[in-house]
Structure 1
């Protein structure tokens, strides 16, 4: 599904399940957190899927940020969607300084 958050076009794709309002809120919250560090984001593509059978680390998040120049990409995993989103956003933030 495509959403518009503070003039940022966000495309949220879930594989094998439907997003819930709570999950959408988590994604939006993490995007707003990332926006504090980078003001020129124009698009965000978030892909969520459950990988494997290990419930301790089966949530996989792939995140692409559209910015002027080269886009940024990060992948994160965790036991929950919030943990996977945070893992990916921390990796994106490390790319901001490069």
Structure 2
């Protein structure tokens, strides 16, 4: 799976990018037909404590899955978004089996 990472309003360090790549790549365990993914890190209002959001878009055959999470750290946001996508993949896979 090809993973594209971008950061808005800041420069993401290699450690954060590697962390996100590792987490998103684990989604292939649940559904092996993922074409590619796009991860966007974004820093919002600096005064707000929970100002770090992550948007992850997964392209699978015939569909695009999306999750956006915001929290006080990028790592937490990535974990929450990946969990949301895992649930979406599971639901999509169940629909394919029952069809």
TM class by shorter-chain length?
0.7 to 0.9
Query: Unaligned stretches of 5+ in structure 1?
Result: 1-7
Q: What is the RMSD of the two structures over their aligned residues, measured on CA atoms? A: 1.2
Match of 1:70 in 2: 63
Aligned to 1:74, the other structure's residue is in SS state: strand
Query: Residue 9 of structure 1 contacts residue 44 of structure 1 at CA under 8 Å; is this kept in 2?
Result: yes
Aligned to 2:38, the other structure's residue is in SS state: strand
Please report the TM-score for the alignment, with normalisation by the length of structure 2: 0.83
Please report the TM-score for the alignment, with normalisation by the length of structure 1: 0.84
Aligned residues: 90
Does 2:51 match 1:58? yes
Query: Residue 41 of structure 1 contacts residue 67 of structure 1 at CA under 8 Å; is this kept in 2?
Result: yes
TM-superposed CA distance for 1:43, in Å, is: 0.6
Larger radius of gyration: 2
Higher helix share: 2
Match of 1:79 in 2: 72
Aligned to 1:71, the other structure's residue is in SS state: strand
Query: Residue 78 of structure 1 contacts residue 87 of structure 1 at CA under 8 Å; is this kept in 2?
Result: no
